[in-house]
């Protein structure tokens, strides 16, 4: 019965939209649907969404609408549409993400809309370029601790090695020093549940939780972990100064602005945002560098010239040291360009004209950083790993290359972008300073299943590491 009434409502909605467009004599972009109501092109799209987008662009042109699982997604792939996505006032970030945020972190829409601006301003301040270098010392210390545990040599799956290093370092810096579990069973549980939550995040953001039992179990496990630990995080005092961690500052905003106890829910979101992209980007950067011997050699020479040749001293990494090693930053940015998020999204709030089509309000406007970064007009020889293309970017003025949109854009661009770059730079410096590394397998292909966030590797890749003498 419920299904029938939902179908009737959807059909009526579609008819109303058609009438709206007809009455105003407006023409929508070409629409890709399917013969099953509501599901639409859902199955085809879901099988390999990245490939679907590119095939649709070739078949239908630079703007097209995909109707799938009750949602209309209008993709823009060329200049005019990209400009509308990046600059128009008629498209809205908060309205586009409120539903996925509700599904993945159980934050009700009204609370999300009320708090978003304040939390964003706080994050931008804490993670912005003025305060960023406060994290350098702590990140270096945490990463040292993790690398020490690797011992003198070994062979590991590169992805799991990166997780082992970055999970604790990130959590201890952003939430509370010493918060990441240290006993083996708890560490294993954390890895297992965070990975399950991360892997299912895309489906969890679209489908009811009852259809995703394993994902839902891990989400609940992580929420319970936060629930138990929030009081501890709140009262923790930094040994060095009185500064608050990012999570503590977040809890302060929540306490001031609402009576709802949503600390665990926002904790879960921060955890996911801070790990889900930076872990695979570190994997791919190490992978790309190690499979380009001349780039690897130049990086090793740079590290030796700044920190000395042998990897025995416990080194500190300063802002000045990082400036002397620009190639490492270019390699990270070139990696992010090649493995950029599948899509970013905005909700259309008023009819907008793009290339003689009218995109109706209610549509999700979609931009694919992954495909924009593969357009040879913007990035010549787009499939090649060419870190030197980043020479042209004025990174000291905090500007990326034109049309680089991996961190989103506009008012709500990723507030963690500078921290992500800093964390990955230090991780790579320490790894290469202490260890001689090489890959034992070819770099795997990227999975085309992920639209939300950067691309994951499709298979295993082993790394061999040996302490430098």
Considering the complex, state which of residue 40 and residue 204 has its C-beta at the smaller distance from ligand HEM. 204
CA-CA distance, 297 to 290, in Å (whole number)? 9
* DSSP letter for each residue of 214-243: HHHHHHHHHHHHHHHHHHHHHH---SSSSP
Binding segment toward ligand HEM, per CB under 6 A, in 47-55, 315-323, 371-379, 415-423: 415-423
Q: Which of 41, 139, 271, 281 binds ligand HEM (CB under 6 A)?
A: 281
Cα angle 419-423-424, degrees, rounded to a multiple of 5: 120
Could you tell me the smallest distance in angstroms from the CB atom of residue 170 to ligand HEM? 7
Considering the complex, state which of residue 127 and residue 451 has its C-beta at the smaller distance from ligand HEM. 127
Could you tell me the smallest distance in angstroms from the CB atom of residue 250 to ligand HEM? 10
Phi-psi region of 465 (alpha: psi -120 to 50; beta: other; left: phi over 0): beta
Q: Which of 29, 200, 408, 457 binds ligand HEM (CB under 6 A)?
A: 408
Q: Which of 49, 200, 416, 457 binds ligand HEM (CB under 6 A)?
A: 416
Residue 168 contacts ligand HEM per CB under 6 A: no
Number of H helices, E strands in the chain: 19, 11
CA-CA distance, 438 to 359, in Å (whole number)? 50
Please, are residues 245 and 233 in contact by the beta-carbon 8 Å criterion? yes
Residue 311 contacts ligand HEM per CB under 6 A: no
Contacts of 15-20 spanning 24+ positions with Cβ under 8 A: 17/360, 17/362, 20/360
Residue 407 contacts ligand HEM per CB under 6 A: yes
CA-CA distance, 107 to 254, in Å (whole number)? 12
Considering the complex, state which of residue 358 and residue 447 has its C-beta at the smaller distance from ligand HEM. 447
Which residues from 332-391 bind ligand HEM, rule CB under 6 A? 336, 341, 344
Binding residue numbers: 414
Per-residue x/- marks for ligand HEM, 418-437, CB under 6 A? -xx-----------------
Binding residue numbers for heme: 414
Phi-psi region of 438 (alpha: psi -120 to 50; beta: other; left: phi over 0): beta
Q: Nearest-CA neighbor of 274 among 171, 425, 139, 120?
A: 171
What is the rounded end-to-end Cα distance, in angstroms, of the chain?
A: 72
Per-residue x/- marks for ligand HEM, 18-57, CB under 6 A? ----------------------------------------
Considering the complex, state which of residue 116 and residue 462 has its C-beta at the smaller distance from ligand HEM. 116
Which residues from 72-131 bind ligand HEM, rule CB under 6 A? 93, 120, 123, 127
Could you tell me the smallest distance in angstroms from the CB atom of residue 288 to ligand HEM? 14
Q: Which of 95, 113, 187, 273 binds ligand HEM (CB under 6 A)?
A: 273
Considering the complex, state which of residue 127 and residue 354 has its C-beta at the smaller distance from ligand HEM. 127
Could you tell me the smallest distance in angstroms from the CB atom of residue 310 to ligand HEM? 31
Q: Nearest-CA neighbor of 295 among 331, 329, 325, 336?
A: 331
CB atoms within 10 A of CB 206: 18
Considering the complex, state which of residue 60 and residue 120 has its C-beta at the smaller distance from ligand HEM. 120
Considering the complex, state which of residue 98 and residue 229 has its C-beta at the smaller distance from ligand HEM. 98
Q: Which of 229, 274, 425, 455 binds ligand HEM (CB under 6 A)?
A: 274
Could you tell me the smallest distance in angstroms from the CB atom of residue 270 to ligand HEM? 6
Q: Which of 454, 456, 463, 465 binds ligand HEM (CB under 6 A)?
A: 454
Contacts with ligand HEM: how many residues (CB under 6 A)? Answer: 25
CA distances from 355 to 64, 73, 413 (A): 11, 17, 26
CB atoms within 10 A of CB 110: 11
Could you tell me the smallest distance in angstroms from the CB atom of residue 174 to ligand HEM? 6
Could you tell me the smallest distance in angstroms from the CB atom of residue 286 to ligand HEM? 14
CA-CA distance, 203 to 104, in Å (whole number)? 9
Q: Which of 229, 245, 248, 409 binds ligand HEM (CB under 6 A)?
A: 409
Query: CB under 8 Å to 342, separation ≥6 — which residues?
Result: 49, 50, 53, 368, 369, 370, 450, 451, 452, 453, 455
Residue 285 contacts ligand HEM per CB under 6 A: no
Could you tell me the smallest distance in angstroms from the CB atom of residue 431 to ligand HEM? 17
Residue 415 contacts ligand HEM per CB under 6 A: yes
Cα angle 458-329-399, degrees, rounded to a multiple of 5: 110
Could you tell me the smallest distance in angstroms from the CB atom of residue 230 to ligand HEM? 18
CA-CA distance, 129 to 418, in Å (whole number)? 7
Considering the complex, state which of residue 161 and residue 405 has its C-beta at the smaller distance from ligand HEM. 405
CA distances from 114 to 94, 109, 271 (A): 10, 9, 21
| Binding site residues, ligand HEM, CB under 6 A | 93, 120, 123, 127, 273-274, 277-278, 281, 336, 341, 344, 406-409, 412-417, 419-420, 454
């Amino acid at each position: 019965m419920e299904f029938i009434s939902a179908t009737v409502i959807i059909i009526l909605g579609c008819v109303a939209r058609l009438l709206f467009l007809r009455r105003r004599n407006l023409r929508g972009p070409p629409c890709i649907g399917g013969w099953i109501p509501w599901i639409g092109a859902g199955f085809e799209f879901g099988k390999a969404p990245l490939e679907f987008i590119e095939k649709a662009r070739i078949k239908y042109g630079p703007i097209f609408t995909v109707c799938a699982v009750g949602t209309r997604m209008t993709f823009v792939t060329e200049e005019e549409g990209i400009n509308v996505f990046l600059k128009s006032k008629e498209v809205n970030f908060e309205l586009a993400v409120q539903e996925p945020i509700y599904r993945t972190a159980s934050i009700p829409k009204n609370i999300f809309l009320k708090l978003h601006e304040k939390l964003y301003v706080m994050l931008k301040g804490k993670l912005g370029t003025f305060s960023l270098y406060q994290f350098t010392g702590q990140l270096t210390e945490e990463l040292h601790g993790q690398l020490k545990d690797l011992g003198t040599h070994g062979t590991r799956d590169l992805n799991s090695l990166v997780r082992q290093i970055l999970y604790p370092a990130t959590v201890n810096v952003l939430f509370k020093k010493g918060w990441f579990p240290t006993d083996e069973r708890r560490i294993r549980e954390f890895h297992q549940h965070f990975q399950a939550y991360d892997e299912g995040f895309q489906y969890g953001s679209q489908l009811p939780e009852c259809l995703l039992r394993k994902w839902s179990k891990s989400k609940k496990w992580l929420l319970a972990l936060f629930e138990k630990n929030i009081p501890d995080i709140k009262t923790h005092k930094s040994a060095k100064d009185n500064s608050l961690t990012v999570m503590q500052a977040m809890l302060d905003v929540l306490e001031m602005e609402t009576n709802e106890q949503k600390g665990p829910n926002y904790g879960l979101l921060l955890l996911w945002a801070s790990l889900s992209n930076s872990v695979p980007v570190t994997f791919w950067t190490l992978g790309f560098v190690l499979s380009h011997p001349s780039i690897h050699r130049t990086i090793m020479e740079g590290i030796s010239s700044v920190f000395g040749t042998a990897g025995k001293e416990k080194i500190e990494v300063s802002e000045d040291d990082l400036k002397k090693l620009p190639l490492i930053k270019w390699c990270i940015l070139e990696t992010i360009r090649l493995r950029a998020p599948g899509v970013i999204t905005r909700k259309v709030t008023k009819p907008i004209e793009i290339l003689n089509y009218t995109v109706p309000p209610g549509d999700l406007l979609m931009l694919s950083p992954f495909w924009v970064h593969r357009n040879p007009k913007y990035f010549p020889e787009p499939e090649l790993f060419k870190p030197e293309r980043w020479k042209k970017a004025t990174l000291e003025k905090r500007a990326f290359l034109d049309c680089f949109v991996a961190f989103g854009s506009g008012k709500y661009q990723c507030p963690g972008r500078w921290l992500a770059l800093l964390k990955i730079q230090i991780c790579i410096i320490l790894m290469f300073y202490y260890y001689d590394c090489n890959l034992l397998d070819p770099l795997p292909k990227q999975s085309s299943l992920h639209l939300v966030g950067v691309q994951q590797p499709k298979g295993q890749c082993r790394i061999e590491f040996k302490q430098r003498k």
